[in-house]
Amino acid sequence: MIGEQDLKENWELLVQIISDRFADGDRLDLDSIIYLIGVQELGLGAQKFKKDEKLNLMHIAICRLLEPYGYYEFDYFDDDKWPHYMVKEELPTLKPGEQSVLMKEAIVHYFTEKGLI
């Protein structure tokens, strides 16, 4: 688990880097970053997605982000090359602020693994 101050600093650095790259410096929010991770994990490049596909991309990202925490495990790619995950452990009930901290920590971990920060 990342210390609170380290998480805050790494999160701010990460948001700045990603916002500069993908939003011309406009600050991206948590959901936007999760969406971008979903697009990255799908691996089919930038394209137009339908509303339900955008939700599926966010689901892919959340599964991938929480995989190292033991909540999900990659299962298979379907015929359209979309990844599918299976639930390994149910997520605990978290307050909204706790959910946000968990996701930010998972995102920082993800991009640290990818060598971005």
User: Which tokens in the block code for residue 85?
Assistant: 């995950």
Please state the domain count of the chain.
1
**pLDDT score recorded for residue 54:** 95
Q: What is the pLDDT of residue 1?
A: 57
- Look at the block and give the residue holding tokens 């509303």: 51
DSSP readout, the chain?
---HHHHHHHHHHHHHHHHHHHSTTPPP-HHHHHHHHHHHHHTS-S----HHHHHHHHHHHHHHHHGGGTSEEEEEE-TT--EEEEESSPPPP--HHHHHHHHHHHHHHHHHHTT--
Spans in the chain with pLDDT lower than 50: none
Kindly report, residue by residue over 60-83, the tens digit of the pLDDT: 999 999 999 999 999 999 999 999
Stated pTM of the model? 0.91
Domain that holds residue 34: 4-113
pLDDT at 15: 96
pLDDT given at position 96: 86
